[in-house]
Chains A and B, each alone.
Chain A
Amino acid sequence: FLGAGGGNDIQWCFSQVKGAVDDDVAEADIISTVEFNHSGELLATGDKGGRVVIFQQEQENKTQSHSRGEYNVYSTFQSHEPEFDYLKSLEIEEKINKIRWLPQKNAAQFLLSTNDKTIKLWKISERDKRPEGYNLKEEDGRYRDPTTVTTLRVPVFRPMDLMVEASPRRIFANAHTYHINSISINSDYETYLSADDLRINLWHLEITDRSFNIVDIKPANMEELTEVITAAEFHPNSCNTFVYSSSKGTIRLCDMRASALCDRHSKLFEEPEDPSNRSFFSEIISSISDVKFSHSGRYMMTRDYLSVKIWDLNMENRPVETYQVHEYLRSKLCSLYENDCIFDKFECCWNGSDRQVIFHRTVTFFLPPLCSIVMTGSYNNFFRMFDRNTKRDITLEASRENNKPRTVLKPRKVCASGKRKKDEISVDSLDFNKKILHTAWHPKENIIAVATTNNLYIFQDKMN
């Protein structure tokens, strides 16, 4: 009597693509983050030019039951501008590193967006009515000559074309010496954390002039620095628990109740190194680029250069599952080091699905959705999905060539060595400039957003 979807493999179809068609990519258009809001109705992207573009899903057309609503531009605004740090003679990039949505509490939507140094809380609100019929003002805003006012009237609201306004409500600045890599909103919906290379700060959403430092791994002597923080996230249910990952492939779970400065972790997750795979690049490829809790909070997923690992929070000494994203790159690590691709930070995400509903006699239990599929990006505009239940995986490509809506995407295969079969692509033909670093999964439906360098692809499952 389990109500969740499961079992059958999803058939992914192309739905939409957003962004410029030319091959010539303007640097400012490079997408740097993608995030659905809690309902999935809104999809936000951030780019290198400091802009945020929000897409809104159209209301489902009841007559057209075989397709879900399309995403169209809802709001565009300049979130961050380039700044110049005069003290250090260095530019502060306006690139949006992360966007995180707040759960909706009223008519307006709120999101946090951050660049390397400053986090901003944006309010996005709609206006579809305006007051008309003022006593003292003309319709165009000019003030009337008071002597001509002979009657009193009450202004009324009249409909107008929908206008979506974004306004910065809070600016959380000057708290990070190093580059911010993560922001995460607490399950209390009042606080959030921001993490840079060496420190993690805790903020209250209402207070901008103060933050609490909760993790500091900066050594007294910077000469001793060998490890940095790469990602951090709050536990989805425990408001006192968060994790942070490092460049050495470790994840630390911290409890804020233990002490004000969470210097000592409650748990340390680390997989022992495989000695047969040891090379000079071992540490670099073990560096974790993303960490995501499952919806229940029982598991967490980490992404390092070649793999995705699922960890059970109750087991620190090794992951419970490991999925190889592009193992064929292991023999190419030297080239990838030379061209800096080895430092690419891939993100990963869980599927979002309807909550599990269990009926037992007269009682209904609502449980967090099952996290059964993980998705992450790769090179050549390929992205990968792993089904934890069936143990099957699939490689798909985000390309304008598969442009027909409702046509199922063809699985791709990379030929690692030996004879290349038809339709396979050899490792040497992969385009390492075409990388998919950012992907997002709709929280409730099987709709995914996949960002190539400057395009955003939306895929959905084939509905019957």
Chain B
Amino acid sequence: MFVRGLKRKCFDGEEDIEGTLAGIKAIPSYNLQRQSLLDMSLVKLQLCHMLVEPNLCRSVLIANTVRQIQEEMTQDGTWQMINTQSTGQASLDRLVSTDILCRSSREQAEGKHIPGYSTFNKDFEGDQAQGSSETMSTASSVQAPRNLQSNVWEMENPQENKGNFQKSLDQIFETLENKSPNSVEDLFSEVDNSYYDLDTMLTGMMSNTKTVHCDGLETFSSPTTATSNSNCKSDLNELDHIVEILVES
């Protein structure tokens, strides 16, 4: 899926932690980028509009993006590398949201077999009994991230810090289920502030238009100019032809 031959940062050993710290500021690795994208997508899916029906097209596109990432991560087995990373104490300086979601999913996965990615799509399931329209209810979408990551990170490694991360995540989900207009504020009030950093980091990452930043996630296209073979003139030729046939000269 990513361009062949592309250099990716390896995650190994201690070199990693400092390297990653610097890496975040300068050249985020493909895996980190991908992880950030996954996190961002899941947040987007969770933050559905409370009062107005969410945009189905947007939801489907985001869900497909998440699915793509998940498939790739499963194929690569890169989730393993991410798990190894988390042994570092300097975790707060890294993508904390990754930790939140990673660790909670491991706990979720304990003793639970999630039938598969298909449950993610419960987002779109509506009230079958009433036969009325399906909406993207936030309650069911809440299930999705847990299930999703359980799939991705099914094989677990022992982790140290369950701590308040799981609590934070649960609070996020509970707040969403309440469907109150204030839930968006509640969502962020309990969460570590470095959640905000995710966004600024991503914007910061992408606003520098250096090629090297976006190697992994986005490859630069060679400009494709319009290669048209036909133009309106063919219309005219046809007309001439028709005229000739119709009116014998």
- In the complex, are the beta carbons of A280 and B214 less than 8 A apart? no
Cβ-based interface call for B221 (8 A):
yes
Closest to A181 in B: B57
Q: Are the C-beta atoms of B133 and A177 separated by less than 8 Å?
A: yes
Q: Do B243 and A358 touch (CB < 8 A)? A: yes
Taking CB atoms, residues of chain B closer than 8 Å to A279 are 217-219
Q: How far is the CB of A377 from chain B (nearest CB, A)?
A: 19
CB nearest to B4 among chain A residues: A275
A192-236: CB near B (< 8 Å → 1, else 0) gives 000001100000000000000000000000111111101000000
* Contacts A91-B51, A280-B69 given; does A389 touch B122 at CB 8 Å: no
Check B207–A428 contact: CB distance below 8 A.
Answer: yes
B90 at the interface (CB under 8 A from A): no
Residue of A2, A88, A224, A287 with most chain B CB atoms under a 10 A cut-off: A88
Contact with B along A361-376 (1 / 0, CB 8 A): 1010101001110000
A223/B125 in contact, CB under 8 A: yes
B52: A residues at CB distance < 8 A: 90-91, 93
A371 to B230, CA, bound (A): 13
C-alpha spacing A322/B231, complex, angstroms: 12
Given A88-B132, A335-B202, A179:B55 Cβ within 8 A:
yes
Do A343 and B55 form a contact, CB below 8 Å, given A225-B121, A324-B225, A335-B203?
Answer: yes
Chain A residue nearest to B238 (CB atoms) is A298
Binds A, one of B59-67, B76-84, B101-109, B156-164: B59-67
**CB-based contact B121/A222 at 8 Å:** yes
One of A325-333, A396-404, A406-414, A449-457 contacting the partner:
A325-333
Contacts of B56 in A (CB 8 A): 178-179, 197-198, 228
CA distance A225 to B118 in the complex (A): 10
Closest to B53 in A: A90
A322 contacts across to B, CB distance below 8 A = 224, 226-228
Q: Say yes or no: A276 contacts B222, CB within 8 Å.
A: yes
* Binary interface encoding of chain A residues 266-286 relative to chain B, with 1 for a CB under 8 A from any of its CBs, else 0: 000000001011111101100
Q: Is A173 an interface residue (CB 8 A)?
A: no
Residues of A within 8 A of B124 (CB): 222-223, 225
**Nearest opposing residue in chain A for B208, CB measure:** A428
Cβ of A59 within 8 Å of any chain B Cβ, yes or no, is no
Specify which of B33, B57, B134, B246 is in contact with A287 (CB 8 Å cutoff).
B57
B134 surroundings in chain A (CB, below 8 A): 177, 222
Bound state CA distance, A294 and B61, in angstroms? 29
The answer to whether A331 touches B55, judged by C-beta atoms less than 8 angstroms apart, is no
**Pick the contact of A363 from B199, B236, B247 — CB < 8 Å?**
B247
With a CB–CB cut-off of 8 A, which chain A residues contact B224?
Answer: 274, 322, 324, 327
Known: A228-B56, A280-B69, A321-B226. A358 touches B239 (CB 8 A): yes
Closest to A178 in B: B56
Among A90, A91, A274, A283, chain B packs the most CB atoms within 10 A around the CB of: A90
Is the CB–CB distance between A334 and B133 below 8 Å? no
| Residues of the B chain whose Cβ atoms lie less than 8 Å from the Cβ of A355 | none
B40 contacts the other chain (Cβ, under 8 Å)? yes
Name B211's closest neighbour in chain A (CB-CB).
Answer: A331
Residues A230 and B57 in contact, CB atoms below 8 Å apart: yes
Over the window 130-141 of chain B, the binary record of Cβ atoms lying under 8 Å from chain A Cβ atoms (1 yes, 0 no) is 101111000000
B121 surroundings in chain A (CB, below 8 A): 222-225
- B26 → A minimal CB distance (Å): 16
Residues of B within 8 A of A327 (CB): 221, 223-224
* A281 adjacent to B65 (CB under 8 Å): yes
Q: Please tell me the number of chain B residues within 8 Å of chain A, measured between CB atoms.
A: 66
Q: Nearest Cβ distance between residue A303 and chain B, in whole angstroms?
A: 14
Give the distance to chain B from A278, nearest Cβ to Cβ, in Å: 7
**Minimum distance in angstroms from B88 CB to a CB of chain A:** 25
Q: Chain A residues with Cβ under 8 A from B127's Cβ?
A: 88
Contacts of A77 in B (CB 8 A): none
B60 touches A2 (CB 8 A): no
Q: Which residues of B contact A428 (CB under 8 A)?
A: 207, 209
> In the complex the two chains form, what is the Cα distance from A274 to B247 in whole Å?
47
Q: Residue A434 at the B interface, CB < 8 A?
A: no
When distances are taken between beta carbons in the complex, the residues of chain A under 8 Å from B40 are: 337-338
The chain A residue sitting closest to B118, CB to CB, is A223
Contact between B232 and A330 (Cβ–Cβ < 8 Å)? no
Interface: A323 (CB within 8 A): yes
User: Quick one: CB contact mask for B237-249 with A, threshold 8 Å, 1 for yes?
Assistant: 0010001001100
| Cβ-closest chain A residue relative to B131 | A177
B205, A223: Cβ atoms under 8 Å?
Answer: no
A247 contacts chain B at the CB level, 8 A cutoff: yes
- What chain B residues lie within 8 Å of A277 (beta carbons)? 219, 221
Known: A247-B60, A363-B247, A428-B207. A330 touches B53 (CB 8 A): no
Q: Are B135 and A88 in contact (CB under 8 A)?
A: yes
1/0 per residue, CB under 8 A from B, across A291-306: the answer is 0000010100000000
Binding site for A on B (CB under 8 A): 1, 3, 33-34, 37, 40, 44, 51-53, 55-58, 60-61, 63-65, 68-69, 118-122, 124-127, 130, 132-135, 199, 202-203, 205-207, 209, 214, 217-233, 235-236, 239, 243, 246-247
Since A91-B52, A365-B243 are in contact, a sample of 10 more A-B pairs with Cβ atoms closer than 8 Å, ordered by chain A residue number, is: A2-B236, A223-B122, A223-B124, A228-B57, A279-B218, A280-B217, A284-B65, A310-B228, A323-B226, A324-B225
Q: List 21 A-B contacts (CB under 8 A).
A: A88-B127, A90-B52, A179-B56, A197-B57, A222-B121, A222-B124, A223-B119, A226-B63, A227-B60, A228-B60, A276-B3, A281-B218, A283-B61, A284-B65, A321-B228, A322-B226, A340-B58, A360-B247, A365-B243, A367-B239, A427-B209
